[in-house]
Structure 1
Amino acid sequence: MLARILFLTWLGLTLTGLAPLGVALADTASRPNVIVFIADDISWNDFGCYGNTAARTPNIDALAESGIRFDRAFLTASSCSPSRSSIITGRYPHNNGAAAELHKPISKHLPWLPGVLRESGYYTAQSGKHHMTTTAAKNEQPVYFDLVDGGRQPGNSGGHANWVSVTSDRPKDKPFFCWFASYDAHRDWDADKQWDESQYGSMHRPSDVIVPPFLIDDDATRQDLASYYNEVTRFDHYVGAVVQTLKRQEVLDDTLIFVLADNGRPFPRAKTRLHDSGMKTALIAHWPSGIQSTGVSDSQVSVIDLAPTILTAAGATVPQTMQGVSLLPVFADRSAKVRDYAFSEHNWHDYEAHGRGVRHGDFLLIQNFRTQLPWQGPADSVRSPSHHSLQAARDAKRLNAAQQDVFLTPRPEIELYNFRQDPHQLVNLAGQPKTESTQKHLQEILRRWMDETGDSVPEKISPDTFDRETGKHIPASDVDTTGVLTPGSDRKADHVLAPGPR
């Protein structure tokens, strides 16, 4: 098996872009099934296997125990649809066209992972939250999935209600790819109202939750976090239900499973942020017949690496459009190095924003191109009890430095953090003599990446469509979108193939 993995890795690198799209490069019988479990709005450290002692995730923890737990896995956007679109195309958000921003479509000429797999002989299914669209006209829509299922049933609106049936009812004569995407844990919380103690166990107690230093430790915030933890546990339950189904079908060993989330938890200083609380993701890989080196991996990876990994393992051609790299070398040796840099974007998500981040070694550098605006989080977070507690403490002048950052304006243009020494990224090292060379290097790498991938900072980008203090919709008549451009659109970034530094 190890020899096959190494061979397929070489084959994928050698033939990328040389064979017609969708041509199979391996015998169907040797190709793994693939399931991507993608949670909605769950931070990396809210799974038990990543050290959270309060949130219960026994099924995901078990996959990590017998697979690979990536400790340096990063998203390209801490925003729902841009993140998912980036994963499905293997491209950075600004290289997907308008899809760099929330609720906007991927440019129609770009291939999607499930479409390539389908053309190479896979059965493809999507169940749960979709949230990805294309600019193709209705009568020209490509078929990416053989099955598209909303994943909801009476009493379960979490998106995972049909995962087991989709797994059970699939065709048995071909390998399968399933994109299982939950709505858990997106606000507003519905798991509390739909809780089934016989399936999920008892609800989480507010007294047990872990309150980060940038939130207020009060009853309202603790209950908010407890309800969020309930959604995390419900997601875990359905991951486990699918795994048990695969075991009964005797196909678990030949199924490559990834577990991750699209962005950080929907709380202040998390979702939409470039900091780890928003942009770092849990990433579990499980494939008994294909992963030779199990355990914890410190190899730095980006979620744009998932599509090339899956396609190479499947023996399918990796399109030239994909900017990621295969992780199969890490499956053979979990200490293998596949990239030096991981890049992330903060674009419009309810509020005007333009920021870029690069991670290298133990450092995160952030450059903010809209310093006059706060990074208070998306509108659903602004409407949350946790944010209301912060607002009350702000008005009473009782915020600590970490909490003040939620409202900070103007923000620094450059932020630099050692995230090993400072896991919450609270101490900005930018401008300090001891980190001068690191800052200079990462600023140059970020500039080079933006240039090579066609990124840009348009003078006018999408404006606020929600009130920053209340989270309420701003009437459309009060929002001026004249002359708005999305990042990279002026440079036709959706046609750029260059991946930038890796």
Structure 2
Amino acid sequence: MLKSACLILLATVTVAASAAERPNVVLFMADDVSWNDYGCYGNTAARTPNIDALAANGIRFDRAYLTASSCSPSRSSIITGRYPHNNGKAAELHKPISGHLPWFPETLRDAGYYTALSGKHHMKSTTKRPVPFDHVDGGKNKNNSGGHANWVKVTEERPKDKPFFFWFAAYDAHRGWDSDKQWDTDRYGPMHKPQDVIVPPFLSDDAATRDDLASYYNEVTRFDYYIGQVVAELKQQRVLDNTLIFVMADNGRPFPRAKTRLHDSGMKTALVAHWPAGIQHTGPSVSLVSVIDLAPTILKVAGCDVPETMQGVSMQPLFDDSSAGIRQYAFSEHNWHDYEAHGRSVRHGDYMLLKNFRTQLPLQGPADSVRSPSHEKLLALKEAGQLSAAQQDVFLAPRPEVELYNVVADPHQLNNLAGNPAHQKQQSELAAVLEQWMDETGDSVPEKISPDTFHRVTGKPLPKDERDETGAITPGQDRNADQINAAGPR
């Protein structure tokens, strides 16, 4: 009897010790920020000292890609570890994830983690199910509508006897630039100057566009400030070393030829990982990763089983060797976001192949971008017949069915190599891989998908009687893709 009691006591102590050693996890997510708008990724104008410090002492992933450059489909994909069309209706903006699919925070909570979401949520289910977070708040107060007002408080007030997972999601840098009205120089430093911003070649370099970009940079800096505040609190609590921190964004900047695009300006994300106790090899990593790899990674480091529904792979090998390869291909989708669209892309090595299934339509960006000063300046240049080739791409229709880019030699993807005999081998191989992925994961190109709900020139909502949604279905719906767990080529 005494021996049995001792064994039970020993088992209890062992479980308690194991629970205490399990890492905490914090996922910081910006809203609408492109990969190259952080200091650690080479932007000399945007101030991100706290993110830069995490990158300097962790891993800066230089080839990290989203599955969708669209808010809710991207977040839904991250939280389920699945491609957008495999999440059911959630392939499109504002639509719910199929109810039978697990979200990784609920697996963590079942394993004894304290889970909290503070800031932008933007995810929902087709069924009534328990929220997978012990704490949820919108992250706002009267002086801060950026989504990060409560991050430090949540960190301070967490239960101290449990490991924790925090989903800290800002509204920065979503338009309308509320940080300008709420700016605190003592906290954030001086506002960014329009003359200092970096104007990409597909935008107009003029005063209005520079003002627009400066306000956007302010949002990025405010996001960075609150990351620094949380890191300081974790350090004060002496838990920073055993906390795995990820910093990323859900999609590209809300400017023309960025947000919703399959090109790097929309689909590539900054991704920084920091975990002193668990990352053995720090520095930049050129290993290809997809954001669907985050869910299995977090579950693995927490000692949890990864549900069979998850299509990503664990990034853990990269924590020991940042040059280790975990995948050869990264796939992305462009589905409805304010406007009818259907496109797919695959990345491998130095190349990205994009296939457009709605070639008759321009890719001018979402409605909030269309209403922006930056877009208005491009429209003025268009009317004057003064657009450069890079700027013309915002309005191009019909578009090429296939685009192929060397993303190293052509970082803005302005030189389409599709049809070039010198690159036929890469085009053929990537086209075959993309077709295989679509087939194995149950993707489809429905004859009728969700139509435009905003005017393509003004960005204003279309009257309901001008929206014919009869018979429209989401990609993969006709193939029951939400029931398919196959990941396709990896």
Superposed CA deviations along residues 14-37 of structure 1, whole A, max 9, x for unmatched, are xxxxxxxxxx99921221000000
Aligned-partner Cα distance in 2 for 1:128–1:30: 28
Counterpart for residue 51 of structure 2: 60
Counterparts of 1:137-286 in structure 2, within 5 Å, are 137=128, 141-286=129-274
Aligned-partner Cα distance in 2 for 1:283–1:210: 21
Which secondary structure state, in structure 2, belongs to the residue aligned with residue 224 of structure 1?
A: helix
Task: Name which of 83, 97, 122 aligns with 1:131.
Answer: 122
Counterpart for residue 354 of structure 1: 342
Superposed CA deviations along residues 60-88 of structure 1, whole A, max 9, x for unmatched, are 00000000000000000000000000000
Task: Name which of 472, 476, 486 aligns with 1:488.
Answer: 476
- RMSD of the alignment, in Å? 0.9
8 Å CA contact 1:25–1:317 kept in 2: the answer is no
Counterpart for residue 76 of structure 2: 85
Counterpart for residue 329 of structure 1: 317
8 Å CA contact 1:159–1:181 kept in 2: the answer is yes
8 Å CA contact 1:25–1:315 kept in 2: the answer is no
8 Å CA contact 1:290–1:331 kept in 2: the answer is yes
Task: Name which of 461, 465, 479 aligns with 1:473.
Answer: 461
Which secondary structure state, in structure 2, belongs to the residue aligned with residue 374 of structure 1?
A: coil
Aligned-partner Cα distance in 1 for 2:141–2:236: 24
Deviation (angstroms), 1:142: 2.2
Deviation (angstroms), 1:477: 1.9
Which secondary structure state, in structure 1, belongs to the residue aligned with residue 36 of structure 2?
A: helix
Counterpart for residue 435 of structure 1: 423
Task: Name which of 388, 394, 410 aligns with 1:400.
Answer: 388
Superposed CA deviations along residues 459-485 of structure 1, whole A, max 9, x for unmatched, are 000000000000000011211110000
Task: Name which of 62, 66, 74 aligns with 1:71.
Answer: 62
Q: Counterpart amino acid of 2:50? A: N
8 Å CA contact 1:263–1:279 kept in 2: the answer is yes
Counterpart for residue 102 of structure 1: 93
Structure 2 unaligned spans of 5+:
1-14
Counterpart for residue 366 of structure 1: 354
8 Å CA contact 1:373–1:409 kept in 2: the answer is yes
Quick check: 1:118 aligned with 2:106?
no
Q: Counterpart amino acid of 2:316? A: L
Which secondary structure state, in structure 1, belongs to the residue aligned with residue 209 of structure 2?
A: helix
Which secondary structure state, in structure 2, belongs to the residue aligned with residue 44 of structure 1?
A: coil
Aligned-partner Cα distance in 1 for 2:279–2:411: 29
Aligned-partner Cα distance in 2 for 1:65–1:174: 29
Counterpart for residue 17 of structure 1: none
Which secondary structure state, in structure 1, belongs to the residue aligned with residue 117 of structure 2?
A: strand
Structure 1 unaligned spans of 5+:
1-23
Which secondary structure state, in structure 1, belongs to the residue aligned with residue 146 of structure 2?
A: coil
Aligned-partner Cα distance in 1 for 2:215–2:131: 37
TM-score (norm 2): 0.96
Which secondary structure state, in structure 1, belongs to the residue aligned with residue 238 of structure 2?
A: coil
Aligned-partner Cα distance in 1 for 2:143–2:131: 30
Counterpart for residue 421 of structure 1: 409
8 Å CA contact 1:445–1:501 kept in 2: the answer is yes
Counterparts of 1:374-413 in structure 2, within 5 Å, are 374-413=362-401
Counterpart for residue 12 of structure 2: none
Counterpart for residue 9 of structure 2: none
Distance 1:39 1:172, change over 3 A: same
Q: How many residues align?
A: 476
Q: Counterpart amino acid of 1:200? A: Y
Deviation (angstroms), 1:59: 0.1
Quick check: 1:500 aligned with 2:482?
no
Q: Counterpart amino acid of 1:63? A: L
Superposed CA deviations along residues 166-222 of structure 1, whole A, max 9, x for unmatched, are 000000011000000000000011000000000000000000000000000000000
8 Å CA contact 1:26–1:315 kept in 2: the answer is no
Aligned-partner Cα distance in 2 for 1:281–1:25: 37
8 Å CA contact 1:55–1:233 kept in 2: the answer is yes
Moved over 4 A (4+): none
Which secondary structure state, in structure 1, belongs to the residue aligned with residue 244 of structure 2?
A: strand
Q: Counterpart amino acid of 1:303? A: V
Counterpart for residue 11 of structure 1: none
Identity of aligned residues (%): 73
Deviation (angstroms), 1:143: 2.8
Aligned-partner Cα distance in 2 for 1:237–1:153: 16
Aligned-partner Cα distance in 2 for 1:482–1:113: 34
Q: Counterpart amino acid of 1:353? A: A
Counterpart for residue 446 of structure 1: 434
Quick check: 1:319 aligned with 2:307?
yes
Aligned-partner Cα distance in 2 for 1:467–1:197: 38
Aligned-partner Cα distance in 2 for 1:61–1:136: 40
Which secondary structure state, in structure 2, belongs to the residue aligned with residue 195 of structure 1?
A: coil
Aligned-partner Cα distance in 1 for 2:194–2:475: 41
Aligned-partner Cα distance in 2 for 1:26–1:408: 60
